[in-house]
A and B are shown apart, each in its own frame.
Chain A
Amino acid sequence: MMPVTAIAALAALTYAFRFTGPLLRGRVTVPAAAERLFADAATVLLIALAATAALTTGHGFAGWARPAGVLVAGVLAARRAPFPVVVLAAAGVTALLRLAGVP
């Protein structure tokens, strides 16, 4: 469950990140190393999230159908397939595997 306070906290923090830049305009520059660290942290988090969301449900293995769909989507994305194709392929492969009886 996601309580209202969590939504409000995420919204407030996000707005603060957005607002601080224009507020400080011309007065600070972010060191390139720090900026790169922000970007790298985001990448690491997204990949870790993709891996856990693809492979696990709760504390256990999610079954084969979901990771297979995500794998196909990943290959398509790496080959620069259009975004809608990537998303539909993930859902399609997983749905077909489940139809075939794969958990």
Chain B
Amino acid sequence: MRTLWRTSLAAWPRDAALLRDVGLVGLADGIVGLSFGAASVAGGLPWWVPVALSVLVFAGGSQIAAVGVVLAGGSPLAAVAAGSVLNTRLFPYGLAVADVVTSEYGPVRRWLIRVIGTHLITDESVAFALRQDTRSGRRAAFWTCGIALFVIWNATVLLGVGLGSALHDTSAFGLDSTFPAVMLALALPTLTSRSIKVAAGTGAVIAVALTPLLPAGLPLLAALGGLGTRWTGWRGLRRRSRDHRQPRDGGPQGRRAAGHADGMDSANGTDDASNGDELTVGGRR
């Protein structure tokens, strides 16, 4: 851990604005962590389930999704499937911050940094990193945000677990409303175009309509059929990707950055503070 700390301290932000923004995002995530922990045990799960998920998975949306499926009576397999689909976006994120989670000081340190750093890849840490112009700035922003959120997230989930266990009649406090509310707040900022609104609306109708009929968890996966509404055929797909490949600002670097920024823009939505101007250069749908 010492080497890790030295690496991140070397690039410690002198930037008060960054610390303030990370603090705001941390506050928001802390509220989610608190409600995730409390609602999980209130729903009847043992205390270690939300705690283990928070440490090992460390991706709020998928944790909430997986627990939501299980609490609705769904199979563990459906829970894992729903959580995993939400986390596919972490793959392009990893490409976007690859230069940040590495080190020049030998293979041992490089792997250590990589093994720990990749676990800290979240919507927020990647968004903060991509807002910086220099590599050292990106590194400082990524590690500051990543470490802060890991600590805040796990501490507040633990606190929520304690809170949820202490309350006797949790339904009286409306804790069951916080799950869907959080998911809605995460998803609404990404509904930026007509086609995704139609797809999401269709998916929601499919899922709700199938809930009385199918085993829990399956209606949710069936909702992905809503994506069919934005299908314009192979020719449309090819045309779209060609449009996307138009050079915006010259070289391949610019194109790559724009591609990543686009993905970020649509998947990220925890807090407006994490939506930097640079993230919108890729253009919305």
Which residues of A are at the interface with B, using a C-beta cutoff of 8 A? 1-11, 13-15, 17-26, 28-33, 35-60, 62, 65-66, 69-70, 73-74, 77-78, 80, 82-84, 86-96, 98-99
B9 in contact (CB, < 8 A) = no
Q: Do A98 and B72 touch across chains, with their CB atoms under 8 A apart?
A: no
| Contacting residues, chain B, for A82 (C-beta < 8 A) | 28
Within 8 A of A (CB), among B222-266: 223-224, 226-227, 230, 237, 240-241, 244-245, 256, 259-260, 262-263, 266
B212 in contact (CB, < 8 A) = yes
Query: What 0/1 readout, one digit per residue, does chain B (179-196) give for beta carbons within 8 Å of chain A?
Result: 111111111101100001
| Cα of A73 to Cα of B181 in the assembled complex, Å | 6
Question: Interface majority SS on B: helix, strand, loop or mixed?
Answer: helix
| Cα of A52 to Cα of B42 in the assembled complex, Å | 18
| B110 CB, nearest partner CB in chain A, Å | 10
Which of B28, B57, B206, B244 counts the most A-chain CB atoms under 10 A from its CB?
Answer: B57
Given A2-B70, A36-B285, A52-B219, 15 further pairs, Cβ under 8 A: A7-B57, A10-B53, A20-B91, A22-B94, A23-B94, A25-B102, A40-B230, A44-B227, A48-B207, A53-B72, A65-B177, A73-B177, A74-B184, A91-B35, A93-B177
Q: 10 tightest CB-CB pairs across the interface, nearest first?
A: A21-B94, A94-B174, A48-B223, A25-B98, A90-B181, A6-B76, A73-B181, A11-B56, A69-B177, A95-B174
| Cα of A44 to Cα of B61 in the assembled complex, Å | 13
Pick from A44, A83, A98: contact of B200, CB below 8 A.
A44
Which of A13, A36, A65 counts the most B-chain CB atoms under 10 A from its CB?
Answer: A36
Pick from A47, A83, A96: contact of B271, CB below 8 A.
A83
Stretch at the interface among B12-20, B77-85, B127-135, B147-155: B77-85
| A28 CB, nearest partner CB in chain B, Å | 7
Question: What are some 20 contacts across the A-B interface (CB < 8 A)?
Answer: A10-B79, A10-B80, A14-B87, A18-B91, A18-B93, A21-B90, A22-B98, A35-B263, A38-B89, A42-B89, A46-B184, A46-B187, A48-B220, A49-B64, A74-B184, A74-B185, A83-B271, A84-B28, A87-B185, A95-B174
Known: A21-B95, A42-B61, A65-B174. A14 touches B84 (CB 8 A): yes
| Contacting residues, chain A, for B181 (C-beta < 8 A) | 50, 69-70, 73-74, 77, 86-87, 89-91
| Contacting residues, chain B, for A65 (C-beta < 8 A) | 174, 177
Q: Do B101 and A47 touch across chains, with their CB atoms under 8 A apart?
A: no
Q: Do A48 and B52 touch across chains, with their CB atoms under 8 A apart?
A: no
| A1 CB, nearest partner CB in chain B, Å | 7
| Contacting residues, chain A, for B61 (C-beta < 8 A) | 42, 46
Pick from B73, B85, B171, B179: contact of A53, CB below 8 A.
B179
B45 in contact (CB, < 8 A) = yes
| Cα of A98 to Cα of B172 in the assembled complex, Å | 6
| Contacting residues, chain B, for A51 (C-beta < 8 A) | 180, 204-205, 207-208
| Cα of A38 to Cα of B67 in the assembled complex, Å | 21
Pick from B88, B205, B262, B272: contact of A36, CB below 8 A.
B262
Known: A35-B259, A84-B31. A77 touches B121 (CB 8 A): no
| B253 CB, nearest partner CB in chain A, Å | 11
Which of A3, A39, A74, A98 counts the most B-chain CB atoms under 10 A from its CB?
Answer: A39
